[in-house]
Amino acid sequence: MAAEAPVWPSELFTDLDRNGPIPLYFQVAQRLEEGIRSGILQPGSRLENEISIAKNLSVSRPTIRRAIQEVVDKGLLVRRRGVGTQVVQSHVTRNVELTSFYNDLKNANLEPRTRVIEHRLLAANSAIAEKLGVDPGDEILLIRRLRSTGDVPVSILENHLPPSLADVTREELETGGLYDALRARGVVLKIANQTIGARRAVGDESELLDVDEGGPLLTVERIVLDNAGQVIEVGNHCYRPDMYNFETTLVAR
C-alpha cells in the first residue's frame, strides 16, 4: 500500500515562544496534539521527517524528536519502520462478546469493508475435524477475509465451517458479516469458547495488514456453538494492535 505524501501543519506553529520558560519541545508537542485532536491532522496522515520539520521551525532535530516522542507516548502518533511517523487511526474497541466484527464496525460508524482472499472447499484435517466435530476428510468450507475500516486494514479472519454450512457464498461475505449469513440459514448462535493471544505476523499478513515484517499482532481463536450444542464455526483471526483492542468487565467474587 503506497504511503500518502507527508504533511506538516505549519499554521499550528506560528506563535512558538522561543524566549519564554516553556521548553520548545513541549510547545511543539502541544500543538501537534491540538492538530490531531482538532482534525487538522487526519488519522493515517504521515508527518514530514524530523530533519524537514526542524528546518521548517528553525529548531534542533533533538527538540523535534523529543516533541514527537511525547505525542507517541500519548498514543496519538505511531512510528513505523519504512513509513515514518503517522497519526494513529481510529481505534476499534470491541467488547468480549459473541458478536459479529462486521456489525461491531458498522454500529460504530467505522465503514466496514471486506475482501475475500480465500473461499474454497477442502478435506478437513484431523485437528480441524476434531474442533468442528466432523470426521477427518469431510468436505468443509475455508474462508479467509481481510476486514478493513474504510481503506485501513484491521484484521485477517480465517474461518472453517462444517459441511452443513458449506453453502455460504463469497458474495454474502463481501457484502455482510459471516454471522448474518449463518442466521439467514436458521442458525442460532449460543456460546463461544475464545482464546486471546499475540504473535508475530507470518506469511502474507504483514503485507495485507500494512504492518512491519514480523510485527506483533493480536490473535483470537474462537469456536462457536449453536443452541443445539453443535459447532458451527472455528475461527482463527489476527488484528493490528495499533487499531484494535478488547474490552471486558471483571467482577470480584
pLDDT at residue 147 tops 50? yes
CB 189, CB 226: distance < 8 Å: yes
The answer on pLDDT for 89 being more than 70 is: no
Tracing cell 495499533 back to the chain, one arrives at 242
pLDDT (tens digit per residue) in 203-230: 999 999 988 889 899 999 999 999 899 9
What is residue 8's predicted lDDT score, i.e. its pLDDT? 79
Q: What is the 3-state secondary structure (H, E, C) of the chain?
A: CCCCCCECCHHHHCCCCCCCCCCHHHHHHHHHHHHHHHCCCCCCCEECCHHHHHHHHCCCHHHHHHHHHHHHHCCCEEEECCCEEEECCCCEEEECCCCCHHHHHHHCCCCEEEEEEEEEEEECCHHHHHHHCCCCCCEEEEEEEEEEECCEEEEEEEEEECHHHCCCCHHHHHHCCHHHHHHCCCCCEEEEEEEEEEEECCCCHHHHHCCCCCCEEEEEEEEEEECCCCEEEEEEEEECCCCEEEECCCCCC
**List of residues 6+ apart from 165 with CB closer than 8 A:** 141, 182, 185, 187, 232, 233
79 falls in which pLDDT band (50, 70, 90)?
confident
Task: Return the C-alpha cell found at 132.
Answer: 468442528
Cα–Cα distance measured from residue 166 to residue 12, given in angstroms and rounded to the nearest whole number: 56
pLDDT of 2 reads 45
Instruction: Identify the burial level of 119 via C-beta atoms within 10 angstroms of its C-beta, where 0-12 means exposed, 13-18 middle and 19 or more buried.
Output: middle
157 vs 44: CA distance, rounded Å = 23
Give the pLDDT confidence of 55-67 residue by residue, as tens digits. Answer: 999 999 999 999 9
Confidence at residue 74, expressed as pLDDT on a 0 to 100 scale: 80
Task: Say if CB 70 and CB 85 are below 8 A apart.
Answer: no
Which residues are registered as beta bridge partners of 200?
216
Most confident of 15-24, 34-43, 156-165: 156-165
The pLDDT-based confidence of 143 (bands split at 50, 70, 90) is very high
Residue 116 confidence (pLDDT) above 90: yes
Q: Quick one: average pLDDT of 73-87?
A: 79
Span 27-50, pLDDT tens digits: 999 999 888 888 888 877 888 889
pLDDT digits (tens, 9 = 90+) for 172-182: 999 989 999 99
